[in-house]
Chain A
Amino acid sequence: MIGIFFRNLVRDLIRQPLRTSLTLSGVVWGTFSVVLLIAFGDSVGKAQIKRFHGMGQGIVLMFPSRTTLPWQGFLKGKPVRVTPEMVEEIPDKVPGIEVISPEFVGSRLISYGRKEFRNTVRGVNPGFERMRNTIAEKGRFINPEDMAGRKRVCMIGDVLAADLFGSGEVIGQTIFIDSVPFTIVGVMLKKSQNSNYNGQRDERCAFIPWTTFSTLYGYKYVSNFIFRPLDLGRSKAVTEDIKKHLSKLLGFNPADPDAIFTWDTMDFEKQFTTFFLAFTVFLGVIGSFTLLVGGVGVASIMRVVVEERTREIGIKLAVGARRRTILWQFFSESLMIMLLGGLVGFGLSAGALQAVKAFPTGSFVEFIGMPVLNPLVIVSTVLILLVIGVVAGMLPARTAASTDPIAALRK
């Protein structure tokens, strides 16, 4: 039976090479689009999340601002001023904080020899490094000793390092920030970053101890501070506790929504993830429609095949075939065509993805990521292929199975 079945299939496929290749190409192209679109959507999403992590992972940014509600005799509009010392004391008053850093931000003239740039300088503490993924590739980030001694040391972003020194040695060099000499103790590891606040991206920044920053420039109040909660799921509660603590300290309504502007990156990440999931699903749906067109092709061709083989069906019914035997015969034939097309489509898309890999990398990979045939892509494509295959196969197979044997034999 299996032998006859495959011989039938091959015969049907070979007898009409044009019809077969057109039918198959619909399925092949459909599968190809589904695989590529889902793989693409998935990789863009992942690349963006990775770039988002470039700004930091599991962190909450808090920007002291102005009050928007009157409080205890003060009118609204009172500035909320937070000193770095207050920030560093928060973990003693509010539980659940893993690490916290104040941040001063300023635009300063940075020069080395005859090269001069106006870039962002950030005054922070050592905890900043792991929160904001400003990892030192060479040398080190600023340390507690630098903090205590208000040392004029800095770690600089990789792009700033390249701008100032080209490919030359960086560590230990002295640069001038607003005419004050600083020693470079580290260069940041290159990273991909798509989100930012206050000033340039980290690749162009210089990071110095906040103690040095406030001493040199006379800043008393932070432009913002960053913390990471011990339990990432409790970021909201910890943020509220910090607000309550500061409201007592500085005198503002703890319910004031805008006294301290908060950017919880976990919220953002959730939205981001949801958005890119929806994006991938959307692309998958578009691909499915392409595959659906292929499926319609298979269904209509199988209808023709059923029509051509009415007599055969009649003979089989006459000698005792049950309806479901006939149903199964045509159903599996359609499914075989779908799977054959699907297999070829998978092969082609795997080849295409390999070809993408061979492409010169760079900004392309940074934005789009590297689309691959991962389990998500494979499982969703196979599911779509099966659903469409079953529907496309069932319709003509039901027609075949409901053939009237007498009419069929008379043909």
Chain B
Amino acid sequence: MIELEGIKKVFRMGSQSLEALKGVSLKIERGEFISIMGPSGSGKSTLMNIIGCLDTPTEGEYVLDSDRVAGLSFDQLAAVRNRKIGFVFQNFNLLPYATAWENVELPLLFDGKNARKRKERVTELLKAIGLYDWREHRPSELSGGQQQRIALARALANDPPILLADEPTGNLDSRSGEEIMDILTELWKEGRTIVMVTHNDRISAHSQRIVRLFDGLVLP
């Protein structure tokens, strides 16, 4: 499903270069729930960005659903992000001026779905997370837990097989955090692949497998 082979990522800043990933190989099967853990600077975020097709590796092979990601253009990557991958961020990353409804609708718009399909899908998702009555509210009028649920609904809009969650509970109180983890677990049980970055052991306990990164390499 997700196959990384010898992934290296080098960032160049003027004359200096920083090797964030030094040859990561990782295989994630369909329907797996894995946590990526490691101290800051270990390359977790870089790895997530590469898996999420926001960034491309300097070296190495990345095969997603038997497609080689390295050969795709920016817009092809955009289509992959739109349909195959859902993102959940620590700080939610909702559009502040758009309503809950519009935030959830965004990926559907970029996929070119018609108004009727969008309406059906957004209604379904908002009802599923129990925020249908909050659909006209802006993110600033919602609690952190509610915002993260909206972000989850957005991530699920195009029914992607993979969910990438970057510290999804990092900005939440423990109760809201548990709620989010319950939803993620539920989604995993439905058959989705979930890749989560965290450094909270209690959160990573929800996953099947833990991959530890240190200094740009996977610890055995």
Interface residues, chain A, with chain B CB atoms under 8 Å away:
1, 4, 7-8, 11, 311-312, 314-325, 405-406, 409
Contact = CB atoms under 8 A, between A and B. Distances in A.
B154 interface: yes
A406 to B, nearest CB: 5
A405 B106 CA distance: 16
A320 B74 CA distance: 10
Nearest to B74: A323
Size bracket, chain B contacts: 20 to 34
B82 interface: yes
Contacts of B128: none
A322 B110 contact: yes
Contact of A409 (B82, B89, B97, B110): B89
B167 interface: no
Nearest to B97: A11
B210 interface: no
Interface in B52-108: 52, 54-55, 74-75, 78-79, 81-83, 87, 89, 93-95, 97-98, 102, 106-107
Contacts of B111: 320
A322 B75 contact: yes
B87 A319 contact: yes
27 contacts: A1-B109, A7-B97, A11-B97, A311-B93, A312-B95, A314-B93, A315-B94, A315-B95, A315-B106, A316-B106, A318-B81, A318-B87, A319-B81, A319-B157, A320-B78, A320-B82, A321-B110, A322-B74, A322-B75, A322-B110, A323-B74, A323-B78, A324-B75, A325-B110, A405-B54, A406-B49, A409-B54
B110 A319 contact: yes
A1 B107 CA distance: 11
B106 A409 contact: no
A8 B93 contact: no
Nearest to A1: B109
B97 to A, nearest CB: 6
A323 B81 CA distance: 13
B102 A4 contact: yes
A317 B78 contact: yes
Contact of A319 (B55, B97, B106): B106
Nearest to B81: A320
Contacts of A324: 75
Interface in B156-176: 157-158
A319 B107 contact: yes
A316 B54 contact: no
Q: Which A-B residue pairs are the 3 nearest by beta carbons?
A: A320-B82, A320-B110, A322-B75
A409 to B, nearest CB: 6
Contacts of B83: 320
Nearest to A401: B74
A91 B107 CA distance: 84
Nearest to B79: A320
Contacts of A316: 95, 106, 110
A318 B87 CA distance: 8
Nearest to B160: A320
A319 B54 contact: no
A406 B97 CA distance: 21
B71 to A, nearest CB: 17
A323 B79 CA distance: 11
A312 B103 CA distance: 11
A399 to B, nearest CB: 15
A4 B132 CA distance: 20
Nearest to A311: B93
B175 to A, nearest CB: 26
A322 B78 contact: yes
A311 B94 CA distance: 10
B75 A323 contact: yes
A36 B126 CA distance: 55
Contacts of A323: 74-75, 78
B7 to A, nearest CB: 16
* Residue in B83, B106, B157 whose Cβ sees the most chain A Cβ within 10 Å: B106
Given A8-B97, A320-B107, A409-B93, 19 more contacts: A7-B97, A312-B95, A315-B95, A315-B106, A316-B106, A316-B110, A318-B52, A318-B81, A318-B93, A319-B87, A319-B107, A319-B110, A319-B154, A320-B81, A320-B83, A322-B74, A323-B78, A409-B54, A409-B89
Nearest to B154: A319
A319 B82 contact: yes
A2 to B, nearest CB: 10
A406 B94 CA distance: 15
A7 B102 CA distance: 12
A316 B98 CA distance: 12
A406 B154 contact: no
Interface in B21-40: none
Given A318-B54, A319-B107, A4 B98 contact: yes
Contacts of B94: 315
A378 B9 CA distance: 56
A354 to B, nearest CB: 41
